[in-house]
Amino acid sequence: MKPEALAFAGLLGTCPAMKHLRLEIGTLGPSDMWIHVFGETGTGKENVARALHDLSPRSSRPFVPFNAAAFTDELLMAELFGHARGAFTGALTAREGYVAKAEGGTLFVDELAEMSPLAQARLLRFLQEKEYQRLGETSSRKANVRVISATNADLPRRVREGRFRMDLWFRLKAERIVVPPLRERGADVLLLARHFLRIQSAARGETVPLVTHEVERALLAHPWPGNVRELENEMQRLAVRAAGRAVVCEDLSAELRVRAGSPVSGLRAALQRTEVELVRDSLERHEWILARAAAELGITRQALWAKVRRLGLVVSGP
């Protein structure tokens, strides 16, 4: 997969943050290093991990997701590294773990922060030594896997609280990718909404419904705490309710209907459109040289860059 094709790998978006994310994936994907993906729930961390795998020399080998939050300590080690027969009550046969299933490919460890400190220590040793022991065995086994991990937790706080190992945190900081939350991606919300509506409508054999301006304003005003996953679920709902006709505010879920009917939300959307026009006009006049546009707008270069990211403006030119 070429880096420019990442937009079709579940990583759609034209805002600067998503462009930067795709560049990072394109740079780090072909390497064999351990990469950690930070991002809120629903931002698409597994999509990022899959894209990293698809760009690597391991792309023809397995991509194996493993959710660390789903297991207790003993069961986690048994699931991750495998176990011998009789290693614990109920282990009637030997079983290979997720590491063995990912041999030659990529192991994606999600919810890493939910591991206990003991499990974190064993994972860190595995990452450093590339060796592991099945539960109930004394001999070590070699592993040829690339590990990509992910979490939505505030790890520095957990380190301070003694709930996350400092040495593991230092390793995670070395090479990491941050997935932006949907509320910071500006007009990407509408781009993704239409994308999900097309998918849902095609699956149902129906015409893609139009989205009214009032609905667009509601989508832009909503903070999307569940991020892209929440938006996808909402669009699935709307595809069913609209069934080919235009989507109207009455079709929206309760949380979005409140925003659609709120004068404050309408004012916020109008102000944002005005701000987009002013900022874009200034940038285009100055050929996207931030320092000059910032001087014209009477703000700092850093403040202008923050606005560009928040509003989801696309940098023009080379």
Residue ending a domain, choose from 130, 155, 180: 180
Amino acid at 93: T
DSSP H helix total and E strand total for the chain? 14, 9
With respect to residue 317, please indicate whether it lies within any of the assigned structural domains.
no
Measure the CA–CA gap between 70 and 114, rounded to whole angstroms. 9
Domains in the chain, number: 2
Give a yes or no: residue 274 inside a domain.
yes
Closest CA to 316 of 286, 288, 281: 288
Mark whether 59 and 133 lie in a shared domain.
Answer: yes
Could you please report the per-residue DSSP string of 71-115? S-HHHHHHHHHEE-TTSSTT--S-EE-HHHHTTTSEEEEESGGGS
- What single letter denotes the amino acid at residue 3? P
pLDDT tens, per residue, the chain with 318 residues: 444 444 445 688 989 999 999 999 999 999 999 999 999 999 999 999 999 999 999 999 999 999 988 787 778 888 888 877 766 666 667 788 899 999 999 999 999 888 888 888 888 888 888 898 887 778 889 999 999 999 998 888 889 998 899 988 888 877 889 999 999 999 999 999 999 999 998 888 888 888 888 889 899 989 999 999 999 999 999 998 887 788 888 889 888 876 665 544 555 556 666 777 788 788 878 878 888 888 888 888 888 887 776 665 544 433
Pairing mode, strands 106-110 and 63-67: parallel
**Domain containing residue 93:** 3-180
Residue 182 carries which side chain, given as an amino acid letter?
A: L
Does 316 reside within a domain?
no
Burial of 279-292, coded b for 16+ CB within 10 Å and e otherwise, reads bbebbeebebebee
